[in-house]
Structure 1
């Protein structure tokens, strides 16, 4: 798929338009080049001057569509764009797009563009639920348009319902994770993420530095590839609507949640950093320092090996594990691949600024009867997309 670099943001006339300048800044920070076109109604909520100042490009409106006679603006925008993003998408604009109407610079730009099209509807809950709107959404999906459904939240009307524009970080994910093809459509994917915490007492625990970023990135990449995803996580990070997040704390809780969802999964990715041991007993009260004692001794017991248990039980599932290592990376990961019954092991060096709690990772992918595949350092979102792509090809 060609790299997405140039994004045209099409703004239509909903109250959520006031949030779009912040989204534009976020897209630009992510190294996209952004241009804007807006309907007359959108310009009543946010000014073209604001968008022009942020993007360093003129915000195209109906009033100024023909200010540059050397080209037809809506055609020039369509030729320049790698992606079009409609945000917020009103019920009226969805109806126009679905029926091919072209009566303003937004709808003509949309009609002239033949690349990736993403829409983010936001409207009153009754308008969203209306049969006509839902019919238009289905028609757009049939045309290949990707739709990020509205969230439940506090609406402009003063009550809570489904219709609110999704949070900006979710819209950013929607853009960042876009995939032209969806090889996991119709598949069930189960992913774990984050480091577990094993309680010592009410205020202390044994844990690790895992942030959950990689596992969450895998879950979002799988959702973008068309899958229905269950994410069992210890950290709450932004996820796409197709990701059903289940939050746990301990290794035992993660074990139970993963095994409860294992049978129905087609692809399982065990990215969580699960504690190997837990205290034999957990104190009901904070453990106090005792006079004369200069040490605290804890008895530990081994936690269940979730990956090995799933490896022993798998039937149709494609099973991916992670190996976080401080030394002998490939050798340790190869041994884990064979010992745990996995179909793929993603080996990554950790510690002292590597792997855990970073936005990038350097991994080596191991699979049975194949040479190790070493990937250059890349954003965890990019690594996650590679893992999902390779797993989908092997399934």
Structure 2
């Protein structure tokens, strides 16, 4: 087995916009380093280093690969087991070849949401992929979408070369936890990855669980990225956090779109409203988890008439904005998120908000059928 440099060598780390040097190796980040001074909430950093959509890409004739990583996962004091570390998916020539569980490394123990964390240091672990097909092949090694993962070492028993250009278009997507897909069963099971595979494109997933809030630094990041296709999924975090009123929501959406259009004036851009979430359809946030483990809305439905946001209000406003802007922006499109997951599928939301792994895959197929169809916004 020969060591392969992870940085400055033949391996491309796609889906990450920055690599943070650590004591163990390098940590992929899904936002540029300059954005860190523009947010204070530690949850933003936490989800930025969860590598949803991040993968190592290279060519090799190796029959065996070793991948050494250091994961960091959480554990509540009330739970005897750390949270699952997730899976590492090995894709060879575009086909899933093997799947391995990511090794347990650091554990962050927490007394509860928002409580101070206590680090229980762990050690890097090695995952081996054996019995790979002979000959030169294109390899993608996908990192677990829900677990911060430091890249420590890559070893191969053959030559490792840079990937060949494949001519695929680049799709940049931004959304909430419902696009981050922590609950998916694997990194290639998130709906943006499923949709990208069906559409024959390469996805960059900038979705941030709990933090799709029209942040200007995200808009500037997308503005400056090379992109052939762009999509946003907007609304659920805004309603669940009661982050905007109707008066401020519309201008914020316009501002986000304006910034992105500064860098991509003619790029196809698909704005997606929230999928179905029964608790928030007609009741404003904020939200909390009820005793049954399902999300509940704490707002007053009567406040919607005075500017409080519900999902129904958000969908109507997003559709209104897109209709108005399309008079001068024919490359802007809208899709109702309920086409991806509708009100008759509430049984696929175990906590009333987040889909099951099977539902995420279904969402990916539906998005691809809409966006990449003949005459669709991405065709």
Q: TM-score range by the shorter chain?
A: 0.3 to 0.5
TM-score for the superposition, normalised by structure 1:
0.35
- Which structure carries more helix by proportion? 1
Point out which structure has higher relative CO (alpha carbons under 8 A, 6+ apart). Answer: 2
TM-score for the superposition, normalised by structure 2:
0.36
Give 1 or 2 for the bigger CA radius of gyration.
1
